[in-house]
């Protein structure tokens, strides 16, 4: 039995939606209250980091920290296949068939809940460490059509970015996306182009000698582009200041400056 569409009823500024999940065995009520109160967007402030999403590591930040990728679907795939085989042996439309289908739906629901819980916790951890966060504006649909589509769907980068944006808004953290083109092929230290295939997991620039993990270099480029964008949009002061070393993290309140060429700052600190 397919899930029933949500029932909606609105009265004035209040809307109530009743949602059915897991083949009608779980019900949720969502209450939306419309208010005339305007909540301003968070300004660019505090500590800033850039993040890079990937499959080797789910998330790598410009400060060098990273988060391993839990394989939610793969870790429970064997049990899910067993439940699907049991359901396929039942007579379609019978009570036993319906019970088996509910077990399969519960397993899918459990996997989705575990993934969402991980995304929310990771987003809150980022907000604990920074007040300005930049991320890549990924083509999520394109990622689900490639050779690694199964892993990309399991990681659910699109859901993570949406939840991170919502958590940042709720906690007063500035969040913005930047152009992802070439972030892993550009040296964040001297901006030289350093071409490398997916199998190469280390960034080593032949121009300046900067060496670090590939994903961290990409995260540092995301941070650089984010800072350039907020300066060009007038969201941040334009005066410059010099920072001793580049750790992949900018303290905006302290330095209050646009990005200056790294050759003037020095090689990033590892």
Per residue in 76-106, pLDDT (tens digit) is 888 999 999 999 999 998 999 999 999 999 9
Enter the DSSP assignment of 5.
Answer: P
Query: With left for phi above 0 and alpha for psi between -120 and 50, is residue 191 left, alpha or beta?
Result: left
Say whether pLDDT at 75 is over 90: no
Say whether pLDDT at 42 is over 90: no
Average pLDDT, rounded, for the chain: 83
| pLDDT-based confidence at residue 268 (cuts at 50, 70, 90) | very low
- The whole-number average pLDDT for the span 206-211 is 89
> What percentage of the chain exceeds 70 in pLDDT?
83
Q: Is 28 exposed, middle or buried (0-12, 13-18, 19+ CB in 10 A)?
A: exposed
pLDDT of residue 256: 42
- The whole-number average pLDDT for the span 159-163 is 95
pLDDT of residue 241: 34
pLDDT of residue 250: 60
pLDDT of residue 11: 54
- The whole-number average pLDDT for the span 131-140 is 92
Say whether pLDDT at 167 is over 50: yes
pLDDT of residue 261: 40
* Helix intervals (H) in 145-208: 149-155, 157-171
Q: Which of the two residues, 15 and 270, has the higher pLDDT score? A: 15
Question: Which of 104-108, 260-264, 266-270 shows the highest mean pLDDT?
Answer: 104-108
Q: Could you state, in order of their start, the residue ranges of all structural domains in the chain?
A: 1-38, 39-265
Distance CA 12, CA 33 (A): 9
């Amino acid at each position: 039995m397919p899930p029933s569409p949500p029932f909606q009823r609105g009265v004035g500024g209040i809307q109530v939606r009743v949602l059915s999940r897991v083949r009608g065995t779980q019900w949720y009520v969502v209450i939306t209250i419309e208010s005339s109160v305007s909540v301003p967007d968070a300004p660019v402030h505090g500590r800033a980091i850039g993040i890079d999403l990937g499959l080797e590591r789910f998330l790598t930040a410009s400060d060098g920290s990273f988060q391993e990728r839990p394989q939610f679907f793969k870790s429970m795939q064997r049990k899910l296949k067993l439940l699907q085989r049991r359901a396929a042996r039942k007579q379609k439309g019978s009570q036993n068939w319906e019970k088996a289908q509910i077990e399969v739906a519960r397993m899918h629901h459990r996997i989705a809940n575990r993934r969402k819980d991980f995304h929310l916790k990771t987003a809150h951890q980022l907000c604990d460490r920074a007040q300005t966060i930049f991320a890549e504006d990924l083509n999520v649909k394109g990622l689900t059509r490639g050779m690694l589509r199964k892993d990309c769907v399991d990681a659910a980068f699109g859901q993570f970015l949406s939840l991170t944006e919502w958590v940042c808004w709720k906690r007063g953290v500035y969040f913005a996306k930047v152009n992802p083109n070439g972030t892993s092929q550009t040296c964040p230290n001297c901006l030289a182009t350093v071409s490398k295939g997916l199998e190469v997991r280390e960034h080593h620039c032949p121009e300046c000698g900067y060496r670090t993990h590939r994903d961290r270099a990409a995260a540092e480029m995301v941070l650089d582009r984010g800072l350039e964008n907020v300066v060009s949009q007038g969201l941040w002061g334009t005066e410059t200041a010099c920072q001793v070393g580049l750790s992949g993290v900018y303290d905006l309140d302290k330095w209050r400056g646009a990005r200056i060429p790294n050759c003037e700052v020095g090689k990033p600190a590892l």
